[in-house]
Chain A
Amino acid sequence: MLSQIRGTWPLIGCWSGVRMCQTGARTKSSSSGLFIGSGLVLQSRSTDVHHNLALEDWIDANVDLQHCSILLLWRNRAAVVIGRHQNPWTECNLPAMQRMGIPLARRRSGGGTVYHDLGNLNLTFFTSKKAYDRKRNLKVITEALRQVRPGLDVQATDRFDILLNGHYKISGTASRLSKKSSYHHCTLLYSAERSVLTTVLNPSHFGIHSNATPSVPSPVANLQDYVPSLQWEELLDALVHQYNAEFGFNSALNLVDPADESVFPGHQKFASELQSWDWKFGKTPMFSVHTFLELKDNQSLAQTRAKLHMEIKNGLIGSCELDIPADWLPKRLSGELSALLVGERFCPHRAAAALSALLRFESGDLKDRLHNLCDAVLSVMG
Chain B
Amino acid sequence: MAAVTRGSFSLLRRMLSHQYHHRGFRSDWTLKPHVFRCDTKLQLLSSRLLHTAMMFRGPIVQFKLSDIGEGIMEVTVKEWYVKEGDKVSQFDSICEVQSDKASVTITSRYDGIIKKLYYDVDTTALVGKPLVDIETESSSEVIQEEDVVETPAMAREEHTHQEIKGHKTQATPAVRRLAMENNIKLSEVVGTGKDGRILKEDILNFLAKQTGAILPPAPFQEIQTPVPAPSLFAAEPVSTPAATQPSPATPKWPVFTGKDVTAPLKGFSKAMVRTMTAALKIPHFGYCDDVDLSQLVALRAELRSVAESRGIKLSFMPFFIKAASLGLLQFPVLNASVDEACQNITYKVSHNIGLAMDTSQGLLVPNVKNVQLLSVFEIAQELNRLQMLGVSGQLGTAELSGGTFTLSNIGSIGGTYAKPVILPPEVAIGALGKIQVLPRFNDGGQVIRAHIMNVSWSADHRIIDGATMCRFSNLWREYLENPAKMVLDLK
Contacts and interface: CB of A to CB of B under 8 A. Distances in A.
Given A98-B394, A349-B396, A355-B397, A174 B147 contact: no
B265 to A, nearest CB: 8
Interface string B73-100: 0000011000000000001000010111
Contacts, number: 181
Nearest to A98: B394
Interface stretch (B31-39, B162-170, B271-279): B271-279
Nearest to B12: A266
B268 A175 contact: no
A110 B102 contact: yes
B101 interface: yes
A371 B101 contact: no
A363 B7 contact: no
Contact of B267 (A173, A213, A265, A343): A343
Contacts of A340: 267, 270-271
Nearest to B107: A179
Nearest to B389: A349
B69 interface: yes
> Most A CB atoms within 10 A — which of B107, B270, B275?
B270
A357 B122 contact: no
> Most A CB atoms within 10 A — which of B100, B268, B361?
B268
A61 B153 contact: no
A17 B278 contact: no
A371 B275 contact: no
A344 B266 contact: yes
B104 A16 contact: no
Interface in A314-362: 339-345, 348-361
Contact of A179 (B70, B147, B267, B364): B147
A67 interface: yes
A64 interface: yes
A179 B109 CA distance: 10
Contact of B3 (A67, A177, A179): A67
Please report whether the interface of chain B is mostly helix, strand, loop or mixed according to DSSP. Answer: mixed
Interface in A168-188: 173-180, 182
Interface in A278-317: 283, 285-286
B103 interface: yes
B349 interface: no
A83 B464 CA distance: 59
Interface string A40-52: 0000000000000
B333 interface: no
Contacts of A213: 98
B271 A358 contact: yes
Nearest to A357: B271
Nearest to B264: A343
B271 A353 contact: yes
A311 to B, nearest CB: 14
A345 B104 CA distance: 27
A354 B3 contact: no
Interface string A195-237: 0000000000000000101000000000000000000000000
Interface string A10-21: 000001111000
A253 to B, nearest CB: 23
Contacts of B148: 129-130
B397 A178 contact: no
Contact of B397 (A160, A339, A371): A371
Contact of B395 (A129, A352, A359, A374): A352
> Most A CB atoms within 10 A — which of B68, B101, B423?
B101
A62 interface: yes
Given A16-B3, A98-B394, A178-B104, A357 B98 contact: no
B393 interface: yes
Nearest to A347: B393
B231 to A, nearest CB: 34
B11 A353 contact: no
B4 A354 contact: no
Interface string B338-349: 011000001000
Interface residues of B, number: 61
A177 B91 CA distance: 14
A178 B69 CA distance: 11
Given A132-B69, A269-B15, A160 B101 contact: yes
A378 interface: yes
Interface in B315-365: 337, 339-340, 346, 361-362, 364
Given A62-B11, A213-B98, A354-B270, A349 B275 contact: no
Given A83-B103, A177-B102, A177-B103, A352 B396 contact: yes
Contacts of A175: 101-103
Interface string B209-237: 00000000000000000000000000000
Contacts of A265: 8
A150 B394 CA distance: 51
Contact of B70 (A132, A173, A358): A132
B425 interface: yes
B11 A375 contact: no
Contacts of B122: 211, 285
A353 B268 contact: yes
Given A160-B101, A177-B104, A345-B267, A64 B275 contact: no
A283 B264 CA distance: 21
A43 B272 CA distance: 49
A241 interface: no
A25 B15 CA distance: 33
A66 interface: yes
Contacts of B102: 109-110, 174-177
> Most B CB atoms within 10 A — which of A63, A356, A359?
A356
> Most B CB atoms within 10 A — which of A16, A265, A360, A378?
A360
Contacts of B4: 15-17, 62
A282 to B, nearest CB: 11
Interface in A249-296: 265-266, 269, 283, 285-286
B2 A17 contact: yes
Interface in B282-313: none
Contacts of B393: 349-350
14 contacts: A61-B14, A62-B8, A111-B103, A128-B150, A134-B70, A285-B122, A352-B397, A352-B400, A356-B271, A356-B400, A359-B397, A359-B402, A360-B278, A360-B424
Interface of B: 1-4, 6-8, 10-11, 14-15, 68-70, 78-79, 91, 96, 98-105, 107, 121-122, 147-148, 150, 153, 264, 266-268, 270-272, 274-275, 278, 337, 339-340, 346, 361-362, 364, 393-397, 400-402, 423-425
Pairs of residues from A and B, 5 with the lowest C-beta to C-beta distance, nearest first: A344-B267, A343-B266, A17-B3, A357-B271, A64-B3
Given A173-B101, A363-B339, 15 more contacts: A61-B10, A63-B3, A64-B6, A64-B7, A108-B103, A175-B101, A175-B103, A340-B271, A350-B361, A352-B395, A357-B275, A359-B402, A363-B346, A374-B397, A375-B397
